[in-house]
Amino acid sequence: MRLALFTVLLALRAGAQNADSIRAGTRVRVWESPSIELIARVRSVDAKAITLDAADGPMVIEWQRVSHVDVSDGPRSGPRWRSGLIGSLAGAIGGGLLGVIIGDAAHRNAPKFGAAGIGVGGALGAIIGTTQPGERWVPATPSRQL
């Protein structure tokens, strides 16, 4: 019973904060209960709900169903080499594993396929990591006026 009351109070508090700090046209990331992430532009905001311009058309979400809201602060501006390195490592691991699996399933030389997968996956991961910097997200609060 206490947990349910706490959850309701927290949802009402979050709704009041979000309704005051988010403006139309802002790109937001909204977590709808239970853990559904939506990224869209804000069409309108009132005390009861937020309306988003989603890919499928306008979507109205009541504040009671919102667990968290973040506001886009633009693309990341950090060094691209770091994103490239992370992408390269992730691609090499994934490519190596996929190469070994394919080599083993085809009854070929799995180590050679794994090595090729490491090289190709690492290169693709580095390219994707350096060209896709990602987005910075800032929690929406009443003190942050958009």
**CATH number of the domain residue 46 falls in:** 2.30.30.100
Does residue 89 sit in the same domain as residue 68? Answer: no
Give the ranges where 31-79 is alpha helix by DSSP (H).
none
Q: Which pLDDT does position 9 carry in this prediction?
A: 42
Q: How many domains does the chain have?
A: 2
DSSP state of 134: -
Listed in sequence order, the residues at least 6 apart from 56 whose beta carbon sits closer than 8 Å to its beta carbon are: none
Q: Which pLDDT does position 83 carry in this prediction?
A: 83
> What digits encode the pLDDT tens for the residues 106-135?
888 899 999 999 999 999 999 998 888 778
| 6-15, 24-33, 54-63: least confident range | 6-15
Q: Which pLDDT does position 141 carry in this prediction?
A: 60
pLDDT at 14 over 90: no
Does residue 56 sit in the same domain as residue 34? Answer: yes
Whole-number Å distance between alpha carbons of 43 and 54: 9
Does residue 52 sit in the same domain as residue 90? Answer: no
* Residue type (1 letter), 2: R
Q: Which pLDDT does position 116 carry in this prediction?
A: 94
> What digits encode the pLDDT tens for the residues 71-102?
888 777 677 888 889 999 999 999 999 999 99
**Residues 114/103, Cβ–Cβ less than 8 Å:** yes
The residue to which tokens 């886009």 are assigned: 72
**pTM for this prediction:** 0.52
Q: Which pLDDT does position 93 carry in this prediction?
A: 95
Q: Which pLDDT does position 18 carry in this prediction?
A: 41
Q: Which pLDDT does position 106 carry in this prediction?
A: 86
pLDDT at 21 over 80: no
Does residue 101 sit in the same domain as residue 67? Answer: no
Give the mean pLDDT of 51-76.
Answer: 86
7 occurs within a structural domain? yes
Domain interval for residue 60: 2-75
Share of the chain above pLDDT 90, in %: 29
Q: Encoding tokens for residue 49?
A: 């709900």
Does residue 86 sit in the same domain as residue 119? Answer: yes
Does residue 93 sit in the same domain as residue 55? Answer: no
Q: Which pLDDT does position 4 carry in this prediction?
A: 43
3-state secondary structure the chain: CHHHHHHHHHHHHHHHHHHHHCCCCCEEEEEECCCEEEEEEEEEECCCEEEEEECCEEEEEEHHHEEEEEEEEEECCCCHHHHHHHHHHHHHHHHHHHHHHHHHHCCCCHHHHHHHHHHHHHHHHHHHHHHCCCEEEEECCCCCCC
